[in-house]
Structure 1
Amino acid sequence: MANAEVTCVGEALVDFVSSSPTRSLSTATGFVKAAGGAPANVAVGLSRLGIRTEFVGTVGADSFGRFLTDELRRFGVGTRGIVATDEGKTRLAFVAVSKTGERDFEFWERHPAGQQLHRKDIDVQRVVRSKIVNIGPFLLLTKPARTTAYAVAREAIRRGSSVCFDPNLRMSLWREPAEVKRLALRMMRMTTVLRMNDEEARFFTGARNVRSAIRDLLGLGPRIVVITEGARGCTFATEDGIRRLKGFRVRAVDTTGCGDGFLAGLLAGIVRSKVPVGRFSVSELAEVCRTANAVGALVSLKRGAIPAMPSEEDVVGFLRAQS
């Protein structure tokens, strides 16, 4: 099998999404099970878009871990890098979704299997043969996964691969805001492609507006920075300049996974462009971000994250209809 064009390293988890609209988990009466976790979502999104993708991470040696491995394989994602461990259970996430697509999250499992990713569990040389290595944010929560994440990023840089990072903040999982800021900023300094939403950008930089935040983030070292703003679109930058794109108007059903879908569209465009990441002009990046906006919009039209990831044909048809 050919090397993966993108390898996603991180945590996969099981989402239990409310089966009917509700604003709070306390009022939810039923749930639908779906594979999830940001790096897993991105991996499936990339595979659906025709990019050779592999997922690397630990899952519990339990029924949920087997479910996740089977789901990733079903969607065409390489799974030889998945390790089933007895050191923890697969993390579960319960998600209530309102009529407008807004979400209420709660995570279940204090010592999840995804945090037990040891350096010895990964064939790092295989991982860094990918053009892009996408590092999942939950790895930074605790050791040994944190140590492994930094080691993979360092080796990817040394071998000439690009590192992608999306902090995907879930403050309820962190002890202190200062801790997540310190650990995530360390990863951002090793990052080539950085994506986050506008709230996260303000948190990490203290800037009052998106353009100021994006300048600060570029100063950390990434060659491409993209800040998503939900339905409003995205602002993005390279050393060549800063630009903004409006989002597509759709009637959202569930916003779970929209950011992950956007990131999958972004990385797929970067891989296909054949332009070295450090040489993207802002105009070239605009074309990629337009497609990424479309992927994010399409994800919002269905419930769940992985089940909602669109195919390349879906995206082409959507963009054609918008022209």
Structure 2
Amino acid sequence: MANAEVTCVGEALVDFVSSSPTRSLSTATGFVKAAGGAPANVAVGLSRLGIRTEFVGTVGADSFGRFLTDELRRFGVGTRGIVATDEGKTRLAFVAVSKTGERDFEFWERHPAGQQLHRKDIDVQRVVRSKIVNIGPFLLLTKPARTTAYAVAREVIRRGSSVCFDPNLRMSLWREPAEVKRLALRMMRMTTVLRMNDEEARFFTGARNVRSAIRDLLGLGPRIVVITEGARGCTFATEDGIRRLKGFRVRAVDTTGCGDGFLAGLLAGIVRSKVPVDRFSVSELAEVCRTANAVGALVSLKRGAIPAMPSEEDVVGFLRAQS
């Protein structure tokens, strides 16, 4: 495989999604297994959009770890960077999805393998050849993965590539809100492309509205900041301004992976652009975000995250139908 245009570093996990609509895991009667984890979702989303992508991370030396590796490979994602470890088990997530697409999450983990990512496990020389390196938030939960994540980000910056970060908050996994805020803000200060949803933006900045939050986040150093607002669309900014785009109206079946799909669409547009990542104008970013909105909308039309990621042809057809 030629050098990846985007490398996703972080967690891959197995989602068990309720097989019939229900508001709570306590009332779920069956589950369907699917590959998941934010960086893995983004990697597949990018590959489906025609971007050369590689995944780097640790999975358990178990059946679920083999399943994840096989699934990523099946969707065209490079898997040279996956390490199967016996230091932990592959993380599992149980997800109940209601009739309106809302979700109830619970994680099952005992010494999760994804947290055992050591610096020595990563071929940094290979990773930094990518235009963008997307670093997964679960790496920040514990050491050694946390130390590895910061080390990779520093090396990416030193070599002139760009770091992408999406905090993807799952508060149940953190001991204290102050801890996640401190650790994520440290990563954001090394980030070129930052994506989060509106609730996360308020959490990290304390701002009352999205525009104020986006100004505060730009002040941390990212050159591109995008805040997604679900069906309402997204607000985005570069150093030359802030804009907002409305979302596409669709009848959502499952919102799992919509943010990851949006991020895949965003990064695909950035990679395809001839504009350097740190030179994007807000007008140029608007075109990219329109496509990203379309990807997120399409993901909501199917159950699961990875199985719902659309192809480039799907996105083109959807946008054509909207115009």
Query: What is the TM-score normalised by the length of structure 1?
Result: 1.00
For 2:10 and 2:214, locate their aligned partners in 1 and report how far apart those are by CA, in whole Å.
Answer: 25
Distance 2:244 2:110 in 1: 40
Whole-Å Cα distance in 2 between the matches of residues 129 and 155 of structure 1? Answer: 11
Describe how 1:110-189 pairs up with structure 2 within 5 A: 110-189=110-189
* Alpha-carbon offset, residue 278 of structure 1: 1.1
SS at match of 1:291: helix
Which consecutive residues of structure 2, in runs of 5 or more, have no partner in the other structure?
A: none
User: Structure 1: 5+ residue runs without aligned partners?
Assistant: none
* SS of equivalent to 1:164: strand
Residue 280 (structure 2) aligns with: 280
Per the alignment, in what secondary structure is the counterpart of residue 11 of structure 2?
A: coil
Shift of 1:110: 3.2
Number of matched pairs: 323
Identity value in percent: 99
Q: For 1:298, what is the secondary structure of its paired residue?
A: helix
Cα deviation, 1:164-204, whole Å, max 9, x if unaligned, reads: 00000000000000000000000000000000000000000
Partner Cα separation in structure 2 for residue 27 and residue 121 of structure 1: 41
User: C-alpha root-mean-square deviation of aligned residues, in Å?
Assistant: 0.3
Q: Deviations over 1:206-233 (max 9, x none)?
A: 0000000000000000000000000000
* Secondary structure of residue in 2 paired with 1:76: coil
- Residue aligning to 1:239: 239
How far apart, in 2, do the equivalents of 1:258 and 1:54 lie?
Answer: 20
Q: Deviations over 1:58-80 (max 9, x none)?
A: 00000000000000000000000
Q: Could you list the runs of 4 or more consecutive aligned residues of structure 1 that deviate by over 4 angstroms after TM superposition?
A: none
* Segment drifting more, 292-301 vs 274-283: 274-283
The residue matched to 1:14 in structure 2 has which SS?
A: strand
| Separation (CA, whole Å) in 1 of partners of 2:255 and 2:175 | 26
Equivalent in the alignment of 1:216: 216
In 2: Cα distance, 1:110 partner to 1:238 partner:
41
Distance apart, 1:304 and its partner CA: 0.2
Q: Distance in 1 between matches of 2:12 and 2:93?
A: 11
Distance 2:309 2:96 in 1: 19
Q: Shift in Å at residue 274 of structure 1? A: 1.7
Partner of residue 309, structure 2: 309
For residues 9 and 128 of structure 2, what CA distance do their matches in structure 1 show?
11
**DSSP 3-state at the match of 2:252:** coil
Q: Per the alignment, in what secondary structure is the counterpart of residue 65 of structure 2?
A: helix
Q: CA deviation at 1:5?
A: 0.1
SS in 2 for 1:64: helix
- The structural deviation recorded for 1:2 is 1.2
SS of aligned partner of 1:260:
helix
- SS class of match (1:301): coil
CA shift digits 1:270-305 (9 cap, x unpaired): 000121011111010000000000000000000000
Q: Counterparts of 1:314 and 1:231 in 2: how far apart (Å)?
A: 19
Deviation string for 1:141-171 (max 9, x for gaps)? 0000000000000000000000000000000
CA distance in 2, matches of 1:281, 1:61: 45
* CA distance in structure 2 between the aligned counterparts of 1:97 and 1:138, rounded to whole angstroms: 22
Kindly provide the CA deviation profile for residues 228-249 of structure 1, in whole angstroms up to 9, marking residues without a partner as x. 0000000000001000000000
Partner Cα distance (1:115, 1:291) in 2: 33
Once the two structures are superposed, what CA deviation does each residue of 1:71-120 show, in whole Å capped at 9, x if it has no partner?
Answer: 00000000000000000000000000000000000000131000000000
When the two structures are superposed, what TM-score results if normalisation uses the length of structure 2? Answer: 1.00
Q: Secondary structure at the match of 1:94?
A: strand
